[in-house]
Every structure is written in C-alpha cells, then in structure tokens.
Amino acid sequence: MSILVVGGAGYIGSHMVKLLAGSGADVITLDNLSRGYRDAVKYGEFIQGDLGDPAVLDDVFINNQIEVVMHFAAFIEVGESVTYPARYYHNNFTNTQTLLDAMLRHDVGYFIFSSTAAIFGEPDYTPIDEKHRKLPINPYGHSKLMVEQLLSDYDKAYGLRSACLRYFNAAGADPDGDLGERHDPETHLIPLVLQAASGRREDIKVFGNDYPTDDGTCVRDYIHINDLCDAHLLALERIQKTDSSAQYNLGNGKGFSVKQVIDAAREVTGKDFKVTQDERRPGDPAVLVADAKLAKKELGWRPEYADLESIIETAWNWEINFLCKKSSDKEQG
C-alpha cells in the first residue's frame, strides 16, 4: 500500500513517515520545504512540490499507486493566523481542497487530517470530548474547522472516507533521537523551556499568571509525538475497516500548567534557568484538556509516553544531541 504524506518534512509528518516505513508501508513525502527540512525525511521517496498546485498533485497520483493521503502541511501559529488570515485560509483550507479534489480525480479514497483543539475555541467544559461545540476564536482554528466541514460533505457526496484527528499539544521527540521538533521561529512551550535549560536562550517567559487555574498559569494536555502518530495508523485501519469517516480528540486527558512544565523540565534536565513573568499571550484559553475516551474505545489507542517526564526527556535528548549541535555549527560558520 502506498501512502502519500503531505508535509512529511515537518515535525509531525517526519515522525509519521518513520512510523509508516517501520510498519512496512510504501511512503512518499510531498513537501515544498517552506517550513520543513529535507533531512527530516529519512524514509521513502521525497518529492519537492506544492500541494496547492493541481499539476504537481496529478503527477504524483498518476505516477504512484496511492491509496491513502495523510495531510500535515498546515500553518500552525495562532498569533500569525490573526495577523495574516489570508495565509491561513489559503494554505490550510484552499490548498487542502485542491488536494482533496485531486484525490477525487484519481480515486484515492482515504484521508487522514491533522485537526486541532483550536476548533473548539474557549471551552465550555473540560476535558473536551468530540461533542463539545465548535466555535474557534482565531483564523487558524476556523481554517481547520472549515476543512472538517468539507470532509463531512465530501464523505456524504463522494464517499471520501476521512479521520479528523484533533491534536491537543503535540510534544516530545523520536525516542531513537533521529527526529524532533524544529520550528523556526519556535513558539511552543516545551522546546523553548529546553532551550533555556541548554543555555541557548536567556530565559523562559511565562505568559500570564492570573488565569483561573491552580497556579494562575495556563494548563495544557501534552501528547507525545509517537503516541500521536500511532493514533493515525489506528484511525486509518478503522476508517478502512468500517468504510466510514470519524473524528477523534487526542490527548492524555491530564493537564499541566506552564509552571508545572517548567518544574518538570528542571527535574528532567537537572538544569536551572531563568524564568521571567510576562503578559498574557492573546488568544490563549486558560485550560485545554482532551477527553480521548473515544479514541481509546474505538481505536484501542494506548499512549505509551503518557507522563510529562518522558515527553520532556525525549525532547531534551533532541535539544542537546541535535539542536544544540546544529546551532553551534551555524555559529562556527
């Protein structure tokens, strides 16, 4: 079976490519390298190209027997989406429709979609289950919810089967140390805390300390990248077996505050570093925790790295053994 991974050079996509290759699938990555890295694609065939270009997609589908598409090529910054909404609607929605339409032209019937907790907006209750109302509060969340709507309509009208996987906070790195998170600029909490621990960053700024949480900082549900990728494989099996589409919230069901993440990082790394209190970051809900019972029940999904320490440990390994070396190579010229 050939699987096309669109955005396979990015953080989540590159881990997915590794898992798929290890499971014996024939993997092809399509990525325009606008945010990903060629050297993160360590398995299968690599095609540099744009998913917004129907001619590129036609070529890929004509030249390969693709049965499944997994789509990771989205922009993910909430703040950026507020400043540049056109960029988000174009890449995350319009280009995804271009991809889906190409799949229909070439009779490719299964699609796995990276959705997000951001489709729910400010939660009415936590943990958030699949039935929670969907009311995004930023263009990023809207662009993803619009794709979910499109997928629901394409399922009914064209029989395209899909799984929408709503990630909470993807974190951690490949436990073998081959891959990890490499955003530029980095905005996510765990990699930034670890940059402070390794000395690549002067301090970690805590955005807000007056949220209605136990210690006043925001609470998030961190999920290890490998567990997230496992859920993709299980979701694919499910939609193929049941010949139906599905949606799942993916997280560990346990929330950690920004302060707890910082404390855990001190514990895991054995390093102390400077913590600076800063203003709230616009658009941050106080608490985002997943109710992932449905994924556990229907997919038999069992997260392996469910504790925060092992998530941080794998990310720390990546920080010191890859990112620090890269940045010192860069400094030396």
Catalytic residue annotation: 140
Are 9 and 41 contacting, i.e. CB atoms less than 8 angstroms apart? yes
Name the residue whose CB lies closest to ligand UFG. Answer: 218
Cis peptide bond upstream of 127, omega within 30: yes
Positions 100 through 119 that interact with ligand UFG (CB under 6 A): 116-118
Residues 6+ apart with CB under 8 A from 291: 127, 128, 129, 249, 253
Q: State the greatest distance between any 2 C-alpha atoms of the chain, in Å, as a whole number.
A: 57
CA distance 70 to 110: 8
- State which residue, 18 or 259, has the beta carbon closest to ligand UFG: 259
Q: How far is the CB of 82 from ligand UFG (least distance, A)?
A: 12
Applying CB under 6 A, the site for ligand UFG has a residue count of 21
Selected from 105, 156, 274, 281, the binder of ligand UFG by CB under 6 A is 281
197 binds ligand UFG (CB under 6 A): no
Region for 224 from its dihedrals, namely left if φ exceeds 0, alpha if ψ lies in -120 to 50, beta otherwise: beta
Q: How far is the CB of 189 from ligand UFG (least distance, A)?
A: 4
277 binds ligand UFG (CB under 6 A): no
78 binds ligand UFG (CB under 6 A): yes
What x-and-dash track marks residues 203-232 binding ligand UFG by CB under 6 A? -xxxx----------x-x------------
Q: How far is the CB of 72 from ligand UFG (least distance, A)?
A: 12
- State which residue, 185 or 333, has the beta carbon closest to ligand UFG: 185
* Residues forming the site for ligand UFG (CB under 6 A): 76, 78, 116-118, 140, 169, 187-189, 192, 204-207, 218, 220, 258, 281, 284, 288
